[in-house]
Structure formats: structure tokens, C-alpha cells
């Protein structure tokens, strides 16, 4: 009996785990800047993603397709991921605590809020590269619309879970202030909106988004702990016989999740374990970026959005949901173990109670699933030039001032019609 129950515990826990070994080769290729092979490697690893991890697959491969300049394929994958996120959220509203008796890894991955909004930014860039400013603007508007309700997205879920906790007579500490999300405006999305509107000749709309960049910095000082881009005013105020060259750069990689274990008292002498995911930033080797033109001009890029910080901010409400759900589930397991132990004092009942307690401990695993290939930071810059053909080099510098990556552009035509925007990245 003991051996059978022990094996059952192990099987249930292993079945809830998701493999991450397929990421190693992709990560190495990304660090080398080999985006084509990174895409191919992940595409061939489709079987490493469980059915319930379909959203992860779409986001991971969709971002790699973008980096590999497979823009149409990236759009298809990111749009599939976006639809799947919407459907998964709709299903999650109707699910109860009892749905997750093992751990959250048994659930369908529904995406993080920062993934849901930033996929629109990269889909907007996909459309720009494909030559459709109007479609790019649709994606930026979708981003901004999502932000309007993100801060209250989980309000009803939290209320329902708090009610369930009271019904369990569980004294679960919970601070509502810890789940207040302060991200209602994105400087990056507004900056790109300004550029796309300007490229489409819609100057009034461009001015609105330029001002919204300023408002984002003013309203969210905790997210924007750096100065406004110094060239922001120049983006809409330059001689019309000149051209404006802009560049957006992405550096580093988005956060991962790590597990944090907590103990909640259920009696004066008994505790239950819960394991919670926490957002952890991945450091980037990039300290600064310069654009050096063969004609002598030089442009230093400036930060516009710390995507890692936004990911941490937007995770707060969902973290509150996970905390309450995990606490209730752990207490339910502990109660079941106590009932088995106290039902009678036979050897079988004592053994069952002990194994149930072990299962309650072992099966509580934090859900550490998260997409791996969004960037960690966005930087921008702009410079006024005469119309013509230019060659230039983008240099990425580390903290010691050494060049760790360069991207060369040769004979790029700069026109005073439309938008002259270059995208570069260094994911180190």
C-alpha cells in the first residue's frame, strides 16, 4: 500500500511538470545572434510543448520568427497566441478552486498580462516591416485598449477566492494593496504610435501620442526610472525638406519565474506549504547603444521602456489570485490528511494520513511557465538628416565600454515620405 501511494504521488507530480531542456540550444543561438537557427531549433521542438502549453509555443516561436525577420509567420503565431489567451481567460473565469487539486501546472497556460499586451507591439512592428502602417496602428490601438482594463482584470476572481477562503475558515493573510497594478499607459506603445501616425501623415494623432509618452513617464515614475528621450520634441518639429531617421532597439531577455515557498499556519502546531511563482529579471550585458553614420553623424539611443519592470508590475494581480488559490488548495489537502489520520488509529489509517501529508507537500509546485523570448528593454533614438542614401553601424556596448555586438547597414535610402525606422536587437 505504501509503495503504491508513493508511486502515485510521484506520477501525479511528474505529469504536471513541463520540460525546459529544449530551450538550451535556442538560448545559445540567440546569444550568438543566430536568429534563423534559433527559430528553426524551436520549431523542431514542437513536441516539447504540452497541449496545455500551446500559448507558450505561439509566443516563443512568434518572437523568434520576428527576430529572424519572418514577419508574416510571426504575425500568424502571435495572433494565434492572442486568440488562445482570450479563450483561456474566458475559461478560467468559470473554473473553481476544486479544478486545481494537484497544482497550477495541471492548468492550461493562459499567458501573462505583459505577454498579452507586448505581442501587439511586435505584431505592429511586423506589419510595419511588411509595409502596412495602418495595420501597425491597429495593433498599437489594441495594446492601448488592453491597458484600460488590465488593472481590474482579476478583481472578481480575487473576490471569489477570498470568499472561498472564508468558507474554509482559513486565516489566510492577504494585503489587497499588494495587487494594485499601476500600468495604464505605455511609453513604448505611444512612441511607436507617434512614429506610425507621423509616417501616415496624421500629424494631429502623432502629437497626441507624443504627449501620451510624457504622461506615461509622469504618471508611472516607478516604471520609468530614467529621463524622457531627449529627442522626443524633435520628432514632430523638424524642417519639412529634411527627413527623420528613427531607430528602436531591444536588448536582453524578458524575465523568468522562480519559486518561493511560504508556510501558512492552520493550527498552533501545524503549517501548510505553498509554492508561489515570482518574476525574476534576467540581467543584460548591454549598457549603451550608438548609431555611427559613415558621414560622421552619431546618435546615442535612450531607454523608453523597461519591459522586465512592466512584467513584474502587471504580474501583481495574478500573483494575488495564485496566492489565494494555492493557500486554499494547500489547506484542503492538509485537512484531508488530518481527517484520514484521525478517522481511526489503525496502522492503515495512520499510513494513509502520513502519505496524504507527504503528497500535499510534494505536489505543491509553483507554476514557472512563462515565455522566454520577449526582450527585457526597449531603447529609441531619432536624428534629422538630408534625404539620401546612408550607411551606418549600430554598436552595442557592455558595462566596460567594449563593443559586444555590431550591426552594419549599407546604402539605406532615407526618404522624406513615409517612415524611416530601423529595428535592431541584442539579446545578450
* Tens-place pLDDT, residues 175-188: 777 778 899 999 99
If pLDDT is split at 50, 70 and 90, which confidence band does 152 have? confident
Q: Is residue 348 classed exposed, middle or buried when 0-12, 13-18 and 19+ CB atoms within 10 A define those classes?
A: exposed
Please tell me the distance from the alpha carbon of residue 108 to that of residue 103, in angstroms, as a whole number: 11
pLDDT given at position 335:
65
Residues 392, 292 contacting (CB under 8 angstroms): yes
Looking at per-residue confidence, does 92 or 112 come out higher?
Answer: 112
Three-state DSSP class for residue 382: strand
Share of the chain above pLDDT 70, in %: 83
Q: What is the pLDDT of residues 309-332, one digit of tens each?
A: 999 999 999 998 888 888 787 777
Residue whose C-alpha cell reads 505561439 in the numeric block? 58
pLDDT given at position 286:
98
Q: What is the pLDDT of residues 347-394, one digit of tens each?
A: 544 444 444 455 555 567 899 999 999 999 999 999 999 999 999 999
**Count of C-beta atoms within a 10 Å radius of residue 91:** 12
The closest of 164, 172, 218, 214 to 194, measured between CA atoms, is 214
Q: What is the pTM of this model?
A: 0.89
Which CATH number is 252's domain given?
A: 1.25.40.10
Q: What is the pLDDT of residues 74-87, one digit of tens each?
A: 999 999 999 999 99
Domain count, the chain: 1
Residues 328, 318 contacting (CB under 8 angstroms): no
At residue 372, what are phi and psi to the nearest 5 degrees? -110, -10
If pLDDT is split at 50, 70 and 90, which confidence band does 336 have? low
pLDDT given at position 340:
46
> CB under 8 Å to 306, separation ≥6 — which residues?
223, 224, 225, 376, 377
Q: What is the pLDDT of residues 219-270, one digit of tens each?
A: 999 999 999 999 999 999 999 899 999 999 999 999 999 999 888 776 666 6
Residues 246, 195 contacting (CB under 8 angstroms): yes
- Three cell numbers at 5? 501511494
- Three cell numbers at 389? 542614401
Looking at per-residue confidence, does 232 or 155 come out higher?
Answer: 232
Q: What is the domain extent for residue 147?
A: 2-426
Amino acid at each position: 500500500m505504501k509503495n503504491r501511494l508513493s508511486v502515485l504521488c510521484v506520477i501525479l507530480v511528474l505529469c504536471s511538470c513541463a520540460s525546459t531542456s529544449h530551450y538550451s540550444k535556442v538560448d545559445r543561438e540567440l546569444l550568438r545572434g543566430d536568429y534563423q537557427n534559433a527559430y528553426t531549433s524551436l520549431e523542431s521542438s514542437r513536441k516539447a510543448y504540452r497541449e496545455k502549453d500551446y500559448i507558450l509555443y505561439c509566443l516563443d516561436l512568434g518572437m523568434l520568427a520576428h527576430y529572424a525577420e519572418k514577419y508574416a509567420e510571426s504575425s500568424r503565431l502571435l495572433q494565434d497566441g492572442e486568440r488562445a489567451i482570450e479563450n483561456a481567460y474566458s475559461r478560467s473565469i468559470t473554473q473553481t478552486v476544486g479544478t486545481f487539486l494537484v497544482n497550477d501546472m495541471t492548468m492550461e497556460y493562459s499567458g501573462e498580462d505583459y505577454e498579452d499586451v507586448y505581442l501587439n507591439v511586435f505584431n505592429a512592428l511586423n506589419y510595419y516591416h511588411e509595409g502596412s502602417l495602418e495595420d501597425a496602428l491597429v495593433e498599437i490601438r489594441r495594446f492601448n485598449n488592453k491597458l484600460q482594463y488590465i488593472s481590474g482584470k482579476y478583481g472578481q476572481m480575487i473576490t471569489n477566492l477570498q470568499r472561498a477562503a472564508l468558507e474554509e475558515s482559513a486565516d489566510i493573510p492577504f494585503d489587497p494593496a499588494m495587487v494594485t497594478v499601476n500600468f495604464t499607459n505605455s511609453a513604448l506603445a505611444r512612441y511607436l504610435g507617434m512614429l506610425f501616425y507621423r509616417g501616415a501623415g496624421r500629424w494631429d494623432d502623432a502629437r497626441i501620442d507624443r504627449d501620451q509618452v510624457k504622461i506615461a513617464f509622469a504618471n508611472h515614475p516607478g516604471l520609468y526610472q530614467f529621463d524622457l528621450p531627449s529627442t522626443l520634441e524633435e520628432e514632430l518639429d523638424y524642417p519639412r525638406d529634411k527627413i527623420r531617421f528613427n531607430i528602436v532597439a531591444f536588448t536582453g531577455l524578458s524575465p523568468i519565474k522562480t519559486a518561493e515557498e511560504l508556510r501558512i499556519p492552520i493550527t498552533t502546531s501545524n503549517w501548510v506549504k505553498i509554492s508561489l511563482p515570482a518574476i525574476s529579471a534576467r540581467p543584460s550585458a548591454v549598457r549603451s547603444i550608438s548609431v555611427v553614420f559613415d558621414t560622421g553623424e552619431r546618435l546615442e539611443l535612450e531607454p523608453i521602456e523597461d519591459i522586465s519592470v512592466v512584467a513584474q508590475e502587471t504580474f501583481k494581480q495574478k500573483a494575488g489570485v495564485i496566492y489565494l488559490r494555492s493557500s486554499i488548495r494547500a489547506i484542503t489537502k492538509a485537512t484531508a490528511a488530518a481527517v484520514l489520520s484521525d478517522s481511526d488509529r489503525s496502522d492503515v489509517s495512520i499510513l494513509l494520513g502520513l502519505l496524504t501529508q507527504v503528497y500535499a507537500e510534494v505536489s505543491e509546485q509553483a507554476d514557472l511557465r512563462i515565455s522566454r523570448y520577449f526582450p527585457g528593454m526597449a531603447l529609441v533614438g531619432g536624428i534629422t538628416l538630408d534625404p539620401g542614401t546612408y550607411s551606418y553601424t549600430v554598436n552595442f556596448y557592455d558595462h566596460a565600454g567594449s563593443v559586444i555586438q555590431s550591426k552594419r547597414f549599407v546604402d539605406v535610402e532615407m526618404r522624406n515620405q513615409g517612415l524611416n525606422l530601423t529595428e535592431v536587437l541584442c539579446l545578450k
